[in-house]
Structure formats: structure tokens, C-alpha cells
């Protein structure tokens, strides 16, 4: 039974107990007391529902934060792997170019051409290594930015959902409290009398 129907029952009891020709009202105290006790018993249930909604909101926010951490960890691992690969390729290219330049110097009598070739190879290798490292850092930054954007969007979504649920709950509780207050005010405003048998 809802609080509104219980208040309506109280109102009906008070209105139905009017003594004709007087401003007095006879009421059954046991029935009225039983209805008020039921109303007090229903209030904790509605408060528990409100607490449940708040717990749901906290769980949604926690899940969004965990997801953001997971995405961030994945992006960090990806960045580390890309950097390691770039460094390995750079080292391999440098080692290869140095070895080739040494072989060319030893194998040919035209040392000048060998030195020029070695410098060209080394310069190309350094440029390529620099480009690979720059590309890797750009990819890492892109992944990190995307992860942070997704985490922010999910956090905002969870906050908006929780806000909507809490606003709805606030309206329901305010409405219910208004009804209870109206019933109590109505009871306080009407004169009641207990007539002995």
C-alpha cells in the first residue's frame, strides 16, 4: 500500500467520524495508529531504494575509472614496444652502415669515395632512425590522447546518468514527503475528540 493511499484512508476516517451538528469528530485511535505505523514502516524501504541508486552511480564511476586505467596501461605498453622497435631498427641500421663503410674502405683503394659513401649511409640511417622515433612518439601521443578522451567521455556519461537518477529520486522523495507533510498538517488542523462510552 502506498503512502498516498494510507493518507487517503486517514482522511476518510477523519471525515467519516464527524458528529452531526457539532464541530467534533470521533475517530478510531487503533486504526489511525495502525495506519501511521504502516506509513513509518514504508519510509525505510523508499530510503533504501535511494541508497541503492547512489551505490549504482558509484559503481558506474568506478568502472569508468578502471576502464580508463586499462586503456592508459595498454597505450603505455604500445608506446614502449614502438620505442623499443624504433631503437632496435636505428641501432641495426647504424651498425650495418658502419660495417659497410669499414668494408668499403678496406676493400677499395679509393678511400675518398668509401668515406663519402659511409657518411651518406650513416646520414641516411640517422635520418631514418629520427623519422622512426618521431613517428613512434606521434603514435604514442595519439593513443594516449584517445585513451584520455574516451575515459573523460565515459566519466561524464556516468556522472550525467547518476545525476539524472538522483534528480528523479529527489523529485519522488520530495513528492512523497510533501504528501506526508500535507497529511500531517491536515490531521493537525482538524479538531479531534475522544468520546468515552
Domain ranges across the chain: 3-189
Instruction: State the pLDDT at residue 85.
Output: 92
**Radius of gyration (C-alpha) of the chain in whole angstroms:** 40
Q: Which residues contact 119 (CB under 8 A, 6 or more apart)?
A: 101
Residue owning grid cell 580508463: 68
Task: Please choose, from the candidates 34, 38, 31, the residue with its C-alpha nearest in 3D space to the C-alpha of residue 14.
Answer: 31
From first to last of its 197 residues, the chain has per-residue pLDDT tens of 677 787 788 888 888 877 778 878 888 889 888 888 887 877 677 667 768 888 898 999 999 999 999 999 999 999 999 999 999 998 999 999 888 877 776 777 777 777 788 889 999 888 998 889 988 889 988 998 888 899 889 989 888 888 888 989 899 999 999 999 988 998 888 876 554 44
Q: Which run of H or of E encompasses 176?
A: helix 111-189
Q: Please check whether residue 53 is in contact with residue 169, taking contact to mean a CB–CB distance below 8 angstroms.
A: yes
Burial of 164: CB neighbours in 10 Å, binned 0-12, 13-18, 19+? exposed
Q: Quote the pLDDT of residue 89.
A: 92
Grid cell at residue 63: 568502472
Is the pTM here over 0.75, yes or no?
A: no
pLDDT at 194: 54
pLDDT at 92: 92
Q: Rounded to whole angstroms, how far apart are CA atoms 70 and 64?
A: 10
pLDDT at 175: 92
Dihedral of CA atoms 106, 108, 112, 116 in degrees, nearest 10, equals -80
3 state SS for 72-105: HHHHHHHHHHHHHHHHHHHHHHHHHHHHHHHHHH
Amino acid at each position: 500500500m502506498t503512502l498516498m493511499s494510507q493518507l487517503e484512508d486517514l482522511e476518510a476516517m477523519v471525515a467519516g467520524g464527524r458528529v452531526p451538528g457539532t464541530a467534533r469528530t470521533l475517530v478510531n485511535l487503533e486504526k489511525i495508529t495502525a495506519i501511521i505505523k504502516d506509513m513509518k514502516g514504508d519510509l525505510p524501504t523508499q530510503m533504501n531504494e535511494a541508497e541503492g541508486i547512489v551505490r549504482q552511480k558509484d559503481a558506474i564511476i568506478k568502472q569508468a575509472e578502471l576502464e580508463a586505467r586499462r586503456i592508459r596501461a595498454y597505450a603505455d605498453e604500445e608506446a614502449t614496444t614502438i620505442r623499443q622497435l624504433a631503437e632496435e631498427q636505428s641501432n641495426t641500421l647504424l651498425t650495418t652502415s658502419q660495417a659497410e663503410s669499414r668494408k668499403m674502405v678496406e676493400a677499395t683503394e679509393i678511400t675518398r669515395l668509401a668515406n663519402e659513401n659511409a657518411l651518406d649511409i650513416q646520414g641516411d640511417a640517422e635520418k631514418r632512425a629520427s623519422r622512426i622515433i618521431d613517428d613512434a612518439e606521434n603514435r604514442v601521443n595519439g593513443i594516449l590522447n584517445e585513451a584520455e578522451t574516451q575515459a573523460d567521455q565515459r566519466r561524464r556519461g556516468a556522472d550525467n546518468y547518476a545525476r539524472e537518477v538522483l534528480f528523479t529520486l529527489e523529485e519522488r522523495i520530495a513528492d512523497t514527503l510533501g504528501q506526508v507533510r500535507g497529511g500531517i498538517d491536515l490531521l493537525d488542523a482538524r479538531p479531534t475528540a475522544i468520546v468515552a462510552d
